[in-house]
């Protein structure tokens, strides 16, 4: 299964994708190789390893130190690559470690980035604050404005076009093929944060995107019990990032990696259920008189519905919607919900609900939030794998109150 | 939760509130001992510990009783016999050989093992495994429960093959349900465990007391992994059952015999429709010759040649390797989460490759 055939179904890939089955004692699941360092049989073995490394020919499954590689971690990397239809993937300690390592490893001083708005606010903060200090400028353009995106490209300076798709919290979708086409024309790279998309609902690399980033904490891990991130791409690009990870140090530990691998095995089932439930819930909310507006790319009313339909096979488990009334009305509705936890994050087995105005933008005034496009009565609902009938019944009682 | 909810929701939320913290995912409590000031009255982890309490809350809710977990399925079997102390166990031949061996271990201590249809008396224990390993033959739970009750005996149902997703024996009158949680409940071939779910809280209390003495508690990490596995139990078992049903239909015309309750030719077909919410995710096949059966696993790429069942990955085994009573032409198949089309293609290619051997 190491050369995973692409014709296998999503559930088969979730269980077996990328698995070489090369492990001690023919154990079925990957062991947790809990080691910081690796021994050499003798000096000749060490010299051979160093010679191979200096020639750039990495010995498969052979490492010298835990920061450079770990078999449990590599097993997950192969699985994510198989799910994305990619050459390779590299795992990090969090989604932000993945994104920041990618940018720090790829950008020279004086470089320029173009980013769509409605992007994860910490990615935006990293680019606008931290990278700025290193002499790297970022231009933020409105999502969906491809003319502005192209116009923002600075010849010879712009290195990447960066977007999330779908975005947080409005689930806006960038036309992946169009983004790649613009980038190619200007010889600029592309990065898509596909966390909300999952490898089962969309595969950005197939549309010509260079790098796909996931917060693996979300759907990939799927149980709200681990933090991890991943970057997927071509063999050479990923190899360079793996080297950078060895320097910057944002590695994931073997226990987390095992839990991630274990979570990935049910990814196909979980995401399919979340797609189905979210579509049903979005339709229910859209018909409800107490709901002003629903943002879900599976709905015809969503501004990017056509793009989403063309490039996604499902629309994910996150729905954003506006409850009629003010901030307090949305809060009261959330407090009446019984099934979801009030918590940030998404993509896990437990449903989570939150009010972005309070969870992510608490320190801002209503006016400042509106400027950022965050309405006070906006609710983000990250649906888990509970029974859809129970979730709709819960919404029904909470909205009736 | 104020309102009654269905099983998938129960599997995710029935343990809420046991740990006081704000964490969404359950903590892995590794502490063996607890400060005397703790409000829950925890003492030492051989008695109770919070991660185990969470798992037991979920498993109890799923089966509609009170759950007591063990270090393995056979530790749960040992507990059932040693705590209930029946004079006689009425059990059919066959089924999982491990359970038979554990029950046999009590015979030198005075336990009588009698046929399932033997006349019953006060305090006897009727023991049924349904669906049965490896042929998935069924027993009528309600019928055995009525017979046991009339005689003052108790009924234990080993429901490992069915899981509470497909069958709830306590609702049908059983006194105890047994699961090897190493199988579907944990579901990822990475945690050993067992559970007894009792209808009567007094029996559950005695089981807990017995576990403290026997020391057969599951470890913290296994307990936590099992709880993590149970979160996806409904999705997994329904998907695996659908796939098994499709594989049974595809294989039926190509092999000597298929054992799966979805097929009208299976002796449990009608009862499964009545008693279960789906015909189950396990099936067995018989090939024309022993050689074909022994060699088929070598011709498959998706199925691993290994014993055990209920995990995310599909397994196949020539059952005779571990069970001397299994027919030499029989292979047992545990259907994993892979897509049905991929598994069917793999099996059909394998069956064709061994054809004529």
> Tell me, what's the pLDDT at A201?
98
Query: Average pLDDT in the A265-275 region?
Result: 98
Whether residue B357 is predicted with pLDDT greater than 90 in this model: the reply is no
- Where is average pLDDT lowest: A97-106, A295-304, A357-366, B179-188? A357-366
pLDDT band at A373 (very low <50, low <70, confident <90, very high): confident
Whether residue A360 is predicted with pLDDT greater than 90 in this model: the reply is no
Whether residue A5 is predicted with pLDDT greater than 70 in this model: the reply is no
The residue that leads in pLDDT, B17 or A194, is A194
Contact state of A352 with B188 under an 8 Å Cβ cutoff: no
Give A58's DSSP letter.
P
- Active centre residues of B (catalytic): 46, 96, 158, 183
- Using the Cβ of B206 and the Cβ atoms of chain A, whether some distance falls under 8 Å is answered with no
| Pairing assessment for the beta strands A211-215 and A229-233 based on DSSP bridges | antiparallel
Distance from chain centroid for Cα A65: 28
pLDDT band at B2 (very low <50, low <70, confident <90, very high): low
pLDDT band at A4 (very low <50, low <70, confident <90, very high): low
Query: Average pLDDT in the A63-90 region?
Result: 95
Contact state of B228 with A265 under an 8 Å Cβ cutoff: no
pLDDT band at A57 (very low <50, low <70, confident <90, very high): confident
Cβ–Cβ contacts within 10 Å for residue A374, how many? 20
DSSP-assigned beta bridge partners for residue B69: B195
C-alpha to C-alpha distance for A67 and B10, rounded to whole angstroms: 40
- Where is average pLDDT lowest: A172-186, B7-21, B82-96? B7-21
The token pair that represents B202 in the structure block: 């007094």
Residues of A in contact with B6 (CB under 8 A): 387, 389-390
Contact B189, B312 (CB under 8 A): yes
Mean pLDDT for chain B overall: 96
Q: How many CB pairs under 8 A join A and B?
A: 114
For A343-369, b/e burial (b = at least 16 CB within 10 A) is bebbbbbbbbbbbbbeebbeeeeeeeb
Closest CA to B89 of B55, B69, B118: B118
Q: Strand, helix or coil at B278?
A: coil
> Tell me, what's the pLDDT at A1?
53
> Tell me, what's the pLDDT at B4?
61
High-pLDDT (> 70) share of chain A, %? 98
Residue range A277-336, pLDDT digits in tens: 999 999 999 999 999 999 999 999 999 999 999 999 999 999 999 999 999 999 999 999
pLDDT band at A263 (very low <50, low <70, confident <90, very high): very high
Residue range A165-192, pLDDT digits in tens: 999 999 999 999 999 999 999 999 999 9
pLDDT band at A41 (very low <50, low <70, confident <90, very high): very high
The pTM (predicted TM-score) of the whole model is 0.94
C-alpha to C-alpha distance for B297 and A269, rounded to whole angstroms: 26
Whether residue B326 is predicted with pLDDT greater than 80 in this model: the reply is yes
Cβ–Cβ contacts within 10 Å for residue A142, how many? 12
> Tell me, what's the pLDDT at B1?
56
Query: Average pLDDT in the B184-190 region?
Result: 98
C-alpha to C-alpha distance for A382 and B214, rounded to whole angstroms: 44
Mean pLDDT for chain A overall: 95
Angle at B231 between CA B227 and CA B234, to 5 degrees: 130
Residue range A333-343, pLDDT digits in tens: 999 999 999 99
Closest CA to A105 of A270, A265, A278, A244: A244
Catalytic entry in A193, A304, A376, A394 = A193
Query: Average pLDDT in the A66-85 region?
Result: 96
C-alpha to C-alpha distance for A56 and A53, rounded to whole angstroms: 5
Mutate to test the interface with A, among B192, B316, B337 (most CBs of A within 10 A): B337
Whether residue A247 is predicted with pLDDT greater than 60 in this model: the reply is yes
> Tell me, what's the pLDDT at A187?
97
DSSP H helix total and E strand total for chain B: 12, 12
C-alpha to C-alpha distance for A266 and A262, rounded to whole angstroms: 8
The token pair that represents A348 in the structure block: 């896990």
| Shortest Cα distance, chain A CAs vs residue B26, angstroms | 8
Among B25, B189, B338, the residue with its CB nearest the CB of A224 is B25
B47 burial (CB, 10 Å; 0-12 / 13-18 / 19+) is: middle
- Using the Cβ of A79 and the Cβ atoms of chain B, whether some distance falls under 8 Å is answered with no
pLDDT band at A24 (very low <50, low <70, confident <90, very high): confident
High-pLDDT (> 90) share of chain A, %? 88
First to last CA, chain B: 59
C-alpha to C-alpha distance for A226 and B228, rounded to whole angstroms: 12
Query: Average pLDDT in the B209-224 region?
Result: 97
C-alpha to C-alpha distance for A254 and A256, rounded to whole angstroms: 5
Contact B286, B330 (CB under 8 A): yes
Name the helix (H) or strand (E) containing B282. strand B282-286
Residue range B15-74, pLDDT digits in tens: 998 998 899 999 999 999 999 999 999 999 999 999 999 999 999 999 999 999 999 999
pLDDT band at B3 (very low <50, low <70, confident <90, very high): low
Q: What is the ipTM of this complex?
A: 0.91
pLDDT band at B192 (very low <50, low <70, confident <90, very high): very high
> Tell me, what's the pLDDT at A371?
87
Mutate to test the interface with B, among A4, A10, A25, A223 (most CBs of B within 10 A): A223
Contact A279, A392 (CB under 8 A): no
C-alpha to C-alpha distance for B168 and B199, rounded to whole angstroms: 11
First to last CA, chain A: 53
A67 annotated active-site:
yes
Residue range B118-145, pLDDT digits in tens: 999 999 999 999 999 999 999 999 999 9
Query: Average pLDDT in the B302-324 region?
Result: 96
Query: Average pLDDT in the A208-226 region?
Result: 98
């Amino acid at each position: 299964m190491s050369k995973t055939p692409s014709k296998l179904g999503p559930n088969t890939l979730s269980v077996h994708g990328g698995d070489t089955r090369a492990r001690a004692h023919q154990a079925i699941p990957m062991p947790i190789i809990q080691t910081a360092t690796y021994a050499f049989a003798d000096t000749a073995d060490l010299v051979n390893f160093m010679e191979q490394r200096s020639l750039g020919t990495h010995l498969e499954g052979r490492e010298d130190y835990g920061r450079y590689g770990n078999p449990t971690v590599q097993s997950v990397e192969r699985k994510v690559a198989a799910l994305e239809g990619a050459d390779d993937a590299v795992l990090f300690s969090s989604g932000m470690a993945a994104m920041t390592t990618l940018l720090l490893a790829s950008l020279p001083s004086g470089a320029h980035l173009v980013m769509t708005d409605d992007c994860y606010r910490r990615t935006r903060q990293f680019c606008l604050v931290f990278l700025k200090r290193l002499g790297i400028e970022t231009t933020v353009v409105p999502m969906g404005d491809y003319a502005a995106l192209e116009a923002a490209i600075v010849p010879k300076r712009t290195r990447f076009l960066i977007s999330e798709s779908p975005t947080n919290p409005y689930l806006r979708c960038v036309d992946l093929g169009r983004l790649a086409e613009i980038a190619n024309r200007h010889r600029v790279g592309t990065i898509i944060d596909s966390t909300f998309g999952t490898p089962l609902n969309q595969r950005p690399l197939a549309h010509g995107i260079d790098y796909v980033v996931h917060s693996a904490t979300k759907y990939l891990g799927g149980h709200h019990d681990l933090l991890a991130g991943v970057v997927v791409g071509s063999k050479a690009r990923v190899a360079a990032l793996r080297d950078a990870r060895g320097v910057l140090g944002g590695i994931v530990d073997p226990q987390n990696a095992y839990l991630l691998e274990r979570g990935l095995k049910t990814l196909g089932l979980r995401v399919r259920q979340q797609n189905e439930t979210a579509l049903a819930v979005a339709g229910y909310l859209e018909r409800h008189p107490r709901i002003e507006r629903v943002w879900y790319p599976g709905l015809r009313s969503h501004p990017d519905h056509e793009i989403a339909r063309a490039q996604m096979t499902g629309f994910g488990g996150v729905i954003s919607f506006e409850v009629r009334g003010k901030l307090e009305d949305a809060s009261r509705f959330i407090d009446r919900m019984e099934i979801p936890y009030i918590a940030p994050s998404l993509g896990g087995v437990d449903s989570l609900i939150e009010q972005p105005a309070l969870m992510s933008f608490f320190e801002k005034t209503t006016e400042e939030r509106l400027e950022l496009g965050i309405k006070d009565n906006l609710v983000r609902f990250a649906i888990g794998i509970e029974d859809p009938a129970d979730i709709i019944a819960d919404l029904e009682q909470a909205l009736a109150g | 939760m104020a309102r009654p909810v269905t099983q998938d929701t129960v599997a995710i939320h029935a343990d809420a509130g046991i740990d006081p913290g704000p964490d969404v995912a359950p903590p892995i409590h590794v502490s063996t001992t607890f400060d005397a000031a703790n409000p829950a009255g925890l003492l030492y982890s051989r008695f109770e510990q919070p991660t185990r309490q969470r798992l037991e809350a979920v498993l109890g809710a799923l089966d509609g009783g009170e759950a007591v977990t063990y270090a393995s399925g056979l530790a749960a079997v040992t507990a059932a016999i040693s705590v209930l102390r029946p004079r006689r166990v009425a059990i059919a031949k066959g089924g999982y050989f491990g359970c038979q061996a554990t029950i046999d271990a009590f015979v030198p201590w005075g336990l009588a093992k009698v046929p399932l249809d033997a006349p019953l008396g006060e305090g006897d224990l009727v023991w049924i495994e349904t669906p049965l390993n490896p042929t998935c033959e069924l027993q009528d739970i309600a019928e055995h429960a009525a017979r046991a009750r009339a005689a003052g005996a108790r009924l234990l149902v080993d429901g490992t093959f069915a899981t509470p997703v497909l069958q709830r024996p306590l609702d049908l009158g059983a006194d105890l349900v047994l699961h090897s949680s190493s199988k579907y409940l944990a579901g990822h071939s990475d945690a050993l465990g067992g559970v007894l779910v009792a209808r009567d809280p007094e029996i559950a209390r005695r089981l807990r007391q017995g576990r403290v003495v026997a020391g057969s508690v599951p470890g913290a990490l296994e307990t936590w992994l099992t709880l993590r596995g149970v979160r996806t139990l409904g999705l997994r078992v329904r998907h695996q059952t659908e796939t098994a049903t499709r594989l049974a239909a595809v294989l039926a015309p190509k092999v000597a015999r298929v054992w799966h309750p979805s097929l009208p030719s299976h002796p449990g077909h009608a009862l499964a429709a009545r008693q279960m919410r789906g015909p189950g995710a396990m099936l067995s096949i018989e090939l024309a010759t022993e050689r074909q059966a022994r060699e088929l696993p070598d011709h498959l790429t998706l199925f691993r040649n290994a014993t055990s069942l209920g995990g995310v990955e599909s397994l196949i085994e020539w059952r005779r390797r571990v069970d001397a009573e299994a027919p030499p032409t029989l292979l047992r198949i545990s259907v994993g989460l892979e897509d049905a089309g991929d598994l069917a293609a793999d099996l059909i290619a394998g069956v064709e490759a061994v054809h004529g051997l």
